[in-house]
Structure 1
Amino acid sequence: MRADRKLWMTATICAVVAAGVTGCSQGEDKAAADPFKGLTAEAIADKAVATTKAATAFRMTGTGTTDGEEMTVDFSVDAKGTCKGSMKAAKGGTAEVIGTGDTSYMKGNEAFWRSSGGEEGASAGETDAMSNALKGRWLAMPAGADGDTAAFCDLKAIVKDMDEDTPRKGMTRGDDADVDGKAAATLVKKGDKGETTTFYVARDAAKPYILRVVETGGKEPGTMTLGDFDKPVTVTAPPAGETVDMEQLMKTLTAS
């Protein structure tokens, strides 16, 4: 079963939400001294990536398409391995994810589990068995049991992907903008396949976080918004009676 391979990539390939990015910042922000004066766009991007990587927690939200399917993602994670979030596909598949450090839990509706089974090449009988076994219950996954799902609650893995997947070479700086009330510098990267990636970086000399990433054109247009930096994530593990572990699930599938 595959929930998603890379949460960071899931977020960044979501569809553009243009309403969240307005033109230029207003009032005092507009008149404020430029904290990036004298820096190239690439240098600003490097500072933004380094600052965001150093955060002890953050929230990622995005809406759009991944693997050809529309999806909405809302996910929070901290450095202690605590996480919580949700994803929703246009075809009706929805799932919640929570993690407590040593175990991740996923709870999906029937459409989600049937879609997951189909992607993994499960037979119709196996898919039926999986859907029935997990109906209204959480799938419990010990850390390290599944590299893909374990990465959901691994802040280091997420920021590593962020660093590797952030194209900084050849960036140019555009007009400043406003992202959810925060003044931001815009950094633009033109791709060789018709895509344009725009980074919105907080105009903050001390904490120039990445606030939003927007990609237009190309095969995977999308948007991702970051927030709640350094805000701890609080979750409660589901009761044992509401969970199914991997061993139980595999026995169910083998018997089907």
Structure 2
Amino acid sequence: MPQHRLRPGYVPAALVLALATAAACGPAEDAATTSKTASAPATRSPGAATAAAPNGVEKLDPTAILARARKATASARSLRIRGTIEDGKDKIALDFRYSGRTKATGWFRQGNERVEMTRIGKEIYLKGNNAFWKAIGGKGAVQLFSGKHLKTTTTAADFKDMAAFTDRTAIFNEAVKAGGPWDKAGTGTVAGTPALRLNGAPGEEIRVATHGAPYVLRLDAGPGNRIEYLAYGKPVDVRRPPAGTVVDGDAFN
């Protein structure tokens, strides 16, 4: 029986980094609005509710603000990250929920290719539509994986870039590194939650909660480029897919 090996180098996660570097065509939307492309209403973060006590981040310098925001977001019991990113002809949408530091479930879509992902510890389960598998490995990959979950790991060479979607701080870290320099630019709100604005290059903006935990609330890089952080503390149920639908990726190495 011939062996099939998935084509390496498919790196949709790299498109996420366009959020920090995409050229902005105009100002971001008003502070009180949420992404027009997201399908579900925003949920106010319990730790950043208006009634919560001020956390004082607005008194810090940008470097310290970003450090506190990164730590708070990484330490949250659970959260949701969703958004859309455009970079030239490429457009990607994503929606992921995270439980603890090593459990996540969600999906991303690029054009007509869509992938569902689940992470538990170092294990990653991928379920792509036929368009995705065809782009990865042609008709052979479609025959092997259509309707199946491919089991791999967070460090597997062919899929480690996609696995970045299951790391709650990866997008934020790349935005901070690729964008900036960051300066304080006043305050506003995100879905009713008081927030501090940090601006980088034109169109680049990070919003951090000023009440309760200093969670990251939103990343912007101009029209069509927005990532929202929401539903902090809302329980997330992450489960392995049924055993009968799983194909072990080690068999193709």
TM-score, normalised via structure 1 length: 0.70
The aligned counterpart of 1:237 is: 240
Task: For structure 2, list consecutive stretches of 5 or more residues without a partner in the other structure.
Answer: 1-7, 34-48
Percent same amino acid among aligned pairs?
24
The aligned counterpart of 2:151 is: 140
The aligned counterpart of 2:46 is: none
1:101 is aligned to 2:121: yes
- Shift of the alpha carbon at 1:142? 3.9
The aligned counterpart of 2:4 is: none
Measured in 2, the distance between the counterparts of 1:94 and 1:169 equals 31
Q: Residue 6 of structure 1 contacts residue 151 of structure 1 at CA under 8 Å; is this kept in 2?
A: no
**What SS class does the counterpart of residue 60 from structure 1 fall into?**
strand
Q: Residue 219 of structure 2 contacts residue 227 of structure 2 at CA under 8 Å; is this kept in 1?
A: yes
TM-score, normalised via structure 2 length: 0.71
Identify which of structures 1 and 2 has the higher relative contact order when contacts are C-alpha pairs closer than 8 Å and 6+ apart: 2
The aligned runs of 1:65-144 (5 Å cut-off) are 65=86, 68-89=89-110, 91-115=111-135, 117=136, 126-144=137-155
The aligned counterpart of 2:231 is: 228
Measured in 1, the distance between the counterparts of 2:88 and 2:209 equals 30
Size of the alignment, in residue pairs?
A: 224
Measured in 2, the distance between the counterparts of 1:238 and 1:112 equals 19
Code of the aligned partner of 1:207:
A
Q: Which protein is bigger by CA-based radius of gyration?
A: 1
Measured in 2, the distance between the counterparts of 1:65 and 1:169 equals 19
Q: Residue 189 of structure 1 contacts residue 198 of structure 1 at CA under 8 Å; is this kept in 2?
A: yes
1:55 is aligned to 2:68: no
1:4 is aligned to 2:12: yes
The aligned runs of 1:194-205 (5 Å cut-off) are 195-204=202-211
- Shift of the alpha carbon at 1:74? 0.4
1:208 is aligned to 2:214: yes
Q: Calculate the aligned-residue CA RMSD, in Å.
A: 3.7
Q: Residue 82 of structure 1 contacts residue 235 of structure 1 at CA under 8 Å; is this kept in 2?
A: yes
The aligned counterpart of 1:162 is: 172
Q: Residue 55 of structure 2 contacts residue 214 of structure 2 at CA under 8 Å; is this kept in 1?
A: no
